[in-house]
Structure 1
Amino acid sequence: MNDLTGKVALVTGGSRGIGAAVAIRLAEAGAAVALTYVQAEEQARGVAKQIEAARGRAVLVQADLTRPEAAASAVEQTVRELGGIDILVNNAGFLTYGPLAEVTAEELDRVLAVDVRSVFLATQAAARHMGEGGRIISIGSCFNGRVPGENFVLQATAKSALVGLTKGLARELGPRGITATIVDPGPIDTDMNPADGDSAEFQRGLTALGRYGEAADIAEAVAYLAGPGGRYITGTAIAVDGGYTV
């Protein structure tokens, strides 16, 4: 159900964590993969080597997605080097938290630039090149459906914006056979949110399964949505959160 042979994917923020797992999984399914990074070139090259060791094809794209033109430029480089784009995975983002009173205008602008503006601009650019069967998949957050405590106003604001964007995309791009979906992770063991971190016990307690997930869990969901199995799924979010939002 997940055969992506002949497809081209772009994964933003693909040098580590969820993005790296997604890039590797899509390549395993047969896609040629471009992945963006900002400064972690060594990590990005490590992901590319894993893909190439399995006889896949990988392209590295250095892109600071806080720059307005960067997302569109990353799409254009993908198309130029890999011959097109069929799958866009909007993964780039960062976890931020703190009380409302301490959020600065600069922090607000940065989070919205990465988590919302870059998604919009990359999607706008990618949609110009996509045809029937195109996939736009954004990595959201369990905060889209539930905010269980204080200090997550900014994170919830940014990730919730993806819901409206995705529903609008589904309506506008559906007639062209392009789907738009979100994968909402719960607590996932990455360097941004390690399973042995300060808040890990609290986060585990919010899940029905009582544990953290792995980046591979998110990658499997993305691969499914990117493949033939996802052809009739659009305008919606899939929670991969261990029952966080139950």
Structure 2
Amino acid sequence: MIDPRLTGRVALVTGANQGIGAATAVSLAACGVAVLLAYKRLDPAEHGGDPAFPEAYGRLRARDAQEVVTRIRREGGRAEHVEADLAGADTVGGLFDRAEAAFGPVEILVNVRRGATWGRIIGLTSGGPAGFPEEVSYGAAKAAQENYTMSAAAELGRYGITANMLRPPATDTGWVTPAVEKAVRAAGPLRHVGTPEEVAEVIVFLASHQARHVTGQVISMS
């Protein structure tokens, strides 16, 4: 068994009340990482009206992260959760302060403060050169995130901090319908609808000791 050497590290995971974020929090905690789960609940009445999405998807996005935290603690891990709107100017700093008060300085996702000598920045993107017709703002935000991450990899490497982006496959976090799955599989023989746990496995790898020399990359899953 490969030891990722993550025991005692501290992570901040956003979007962690469901889907990929929740699976990542569980997987990191299983490796001995203390995790602060941040999330923002979305009201199904405001965000769940798209008939293309199953009704259950709206319910998943409306819940808090207590169920995930309970699972982590039941399996011997350490976790706390907090609801936060990342659009707020002071929110991010407050999340880092909250994590540090509970577990110590955040090392996984971001660690550029308080004399860092080790850290991991791992972002998720749906990016692609074809852009996002009808979702231009979303595409632009992901492009900016990729550019930031590549810059961070160059600037923070001297501190032992790696920075990478992961592009998951179409991942069933509750929104995938049979029609979507059929379309994904038709796109090529290696295409499939992924699970949050499959994506979390790659995130854990990027956080691991074994990936210490992997940085400045956009890694695509099929």
Same fold (TM > 0.5): yes
Identify the residue that residue 72 of structure 2 maps to in structure 1: 51
1:204, 1:210 within 8 Å by CA — same for their partners in 2?
yes
Separation (CA, whole Å) in 2 of partners of 1:206 and 1:157: 24
Matching of residues 65-76 of structure 1 within 5 Å:
65-76=86-97
Q: Please, which of 111, 116, 126 is the counterpart of residue 131 of structure 1?
A: 116
Are the counterparts in 2 of residues 63 and 70 from structure 1 also a CA contact under 8 Å?
A: yes
Which residue of 2 is the match for residue 28 of structure 1?
Answer: 30
Aligned partner of 2:151 in structure 1 is 168
What's 1:101 paired with?
Answer: none
1:145 Cα deviation from its structure 2 partner: 2.8
> What do the CA deviations read for 1:128-147 (whole angstroms, capped 9, x no partner)?
14622211111112xx2343
Residue in 2 aligned with 1:111? none
The TM-score with structure 1 as length reference comes to 0.75
The 3-state SS of whatever aligns with 2:65 is helix
**Structure 1 unmatched runs, 5+:** 89-122
For 2:35 and 2:129, locate their aligned partners in 1 and report how far apart those are by CA, in whole Å. 33
In structure 2, give the amino acid aligned to 1:178. Answer: I
Contact 1:186–1:213 (CA under 8 A) maintained in structure 2? yes
Match of 2:215 among 234, 237, 240: 234
Q: Deviations over 1:76-102 (max 9, x none)?
A: 1101111221102xxxxxxxxxxxxxx
Question: How many residues matched?
Answer: 201
Code of the aligned partner of 2:143: S
* TM-fit CA distance, 1:156: 2.2
Tell me the residue number matched to 2:173: 190
Report the 3-state secondary structure (helix = DSSP H, G, I; strand = E; otherwise coil) of the residue aligned with 1:180: strand
- Hey, which bits of structure 1, 4+ residues long, moved more than 4 A? none
Residue 10 of structure 2, aligned match among 2, 8, 17: 8
TM-score by length of 2: 0.83
User: For residues 27 and 199 of structure 1, do their structure 2 counterparts lie closer, same or farther at Cα, with a shift above 3 Å needed?
Assistant: same
Q: Deviations over 1:97-135 (max 9, x none)?
A: xxxxxxxxxxxxxxxxxxxxxxxxxx5xx4114622211
The letter of the residue matching 1:3 is R
2:169–2:192 Cα contact (<8 Å) kept: no
Which AA in structure 2 matches 1:56?
Answer: G
Distance 2:186 2:88 in 1: 38
